[in-house]
């Protein structure tokens, strides 16, 4: 019988210190503290001016932690000390969603098997640096392939504990 590490009972507790879990060639851990923004703009150039950096223009592309999720939608995952102007008075929407979501990191040679156990996409075809919105079983997530064997998964805090348990179960073949 495989012993599974005890898990926090709420997303708040999860964020405050659950240690990494390893199994099946995968290490699951919480991402570092990051700030997250949901951004929308009809004219990407205006949003680039607010950010002070270029935006990815093709859906699924990433540039320096900014993911293009749609033709006028971006999701930014930036260092915790990053302070973004809100674009007041400009035709853009910049919303800090840091309190809504958190990141999980899966790394190791078994990551594709774990993620594929609950995701309908063919993630093996996703190149490094690509990201997309999808689901793991019934939970909406954003997956970002940061290297051949490392993935960053964004999830709403209210689903984080469930997703953590689902990943641990998949790591131990209990799906």
CATH of the domain at 110: 3.30.1360.120
Q: HSE of 41 in the Cβ direction (CA atoms, 13 Å)?
A: 26
CA angle 30/135/121 to nearest 5° reads 110
Distance CA 125, CA 71 (A): 22
Residue 17: give the domain boundaries.
11-33+100-171
Paired tokens of 125: 């075809």
Higher pLDDT residue, 119 or 7?
A: 119
* 58: in domain: yes
Q: How many CB atoms lie under 10 A from the CB of residue 121?
A: 13
Is 60 exceeded by the pLDDT of residue 2?
no
Structure confidence at residue 174 as a pLDDT band (50, 70, 90): low
Using alpha carbons, list the distances in angstroms from residue 115 to 86, 87, 168: 34, 36, 11
Specify the pLDDT at position 119.
96
Of 96, 114, 140, the last residue of a domain is 96
Of 47, 75, 96, the last residue of a domain is 96
Structure confidence at residue 52 as a pLDDT band (50, 70, 90): confident
Specify the pLDDT at position 16.
37
| Same-domain status, 18 and 71 | no
| Residues 175/159, Cβ–Cβ less than 8 Å | no
Specify the pLDDT at position 93.
86
| Same-domain status, 44 and 89 | yes
Of 50, 67, 96, the last residue of a domain is 96
| Same-domain status, 81 and 160 | no
* 83: in domain: yes
| Same-domain status, 69 and 44 | yes
Distance CA 78, CA 66 (A): 8
Q: Is 142 helix (H, G, I), strand (E, B) or coil?
A: strand
| Same-domain status, 91 and 107 | no
| Same-domain status, 39 and 92 | yes
| Same-domain status, 167 and 118 | yes
Q: Report residue 34: phi and psi, to 5°.
A: -135, 160
The average pLDDT across 21-38 equals: 92
Per-residue pLDDT tens over the stretch 69-85? 999 999 999 988 877 76
| Same-domain status, 109 and 166 | yes
The average pLDDT across 113-131 equals: 96
| Same-domain status, 158 and 109 | yes
| Closest among 147, 151, 38, 149 to 99, alpha carbons compared | 38
Specify the pLDDT at position 87.
61
Q: Residue 54: which CATH number?
A: 3.30.70.1520
Range with the largest mean pLDDT of 18-22, 52-56, 89-93, 150-154:
150-154
| Same-domain status, 40 and 89 | yes
The total number of structural domains in the chain stands at: 2
Is the four-CA dihedral 105, 110, 112, 117 of positive or negative sign?
A: negative
Residues with Cβ within 8 Å of residue 94, at least 6 apart in sequence: 37, 38, 39, 47, 50, 84, 85, 86, 87
| Same-domain status, 122 and 165 | yes
Specify the pLDDT at position 139.
95
Per-residue pLDDT tens over the stretch 99-114? 999 999 999 999 999 9
**Percentage, residues of the chain above pLDDT 70:** 86
């Amino acid at each position: 019988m495989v012993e599974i590490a005890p898990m926090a009972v709420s997303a708040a507790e999860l964020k405050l210190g659950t240690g990494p879990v390893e199994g099946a060639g995968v290490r699951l851990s919480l991402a570092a503290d990051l700030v997250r923004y949901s951004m929308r703009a009809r004219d990407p150039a205006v949003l680039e001016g607010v950010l002070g950096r270029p935006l990815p223009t093709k859906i699924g592309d990433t540039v320096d932690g900014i993911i293009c999720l749609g033709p006028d939608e971006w999701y930014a995952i930036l260092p915790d000390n990053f302070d973004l102007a809100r674009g007041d008075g400009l035709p853009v929407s910049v919303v800090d969603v840091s309190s809504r979501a958190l990141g999980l990191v899966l790394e190791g040679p078994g990551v594709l098997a774990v993620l594929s156990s609950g995701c309908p996409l063919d993630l093996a075809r996703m190149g490094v640096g690509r990201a997309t919105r999808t689901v793991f079983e019934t939970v909406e997530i954003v997956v970002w392939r940061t290297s051949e064997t490392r993935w960053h998964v964004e999830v709403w805090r209210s689903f984080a504990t469930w997703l953590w348990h689902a990943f641990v179960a998949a790591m131990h073949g209990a799906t």
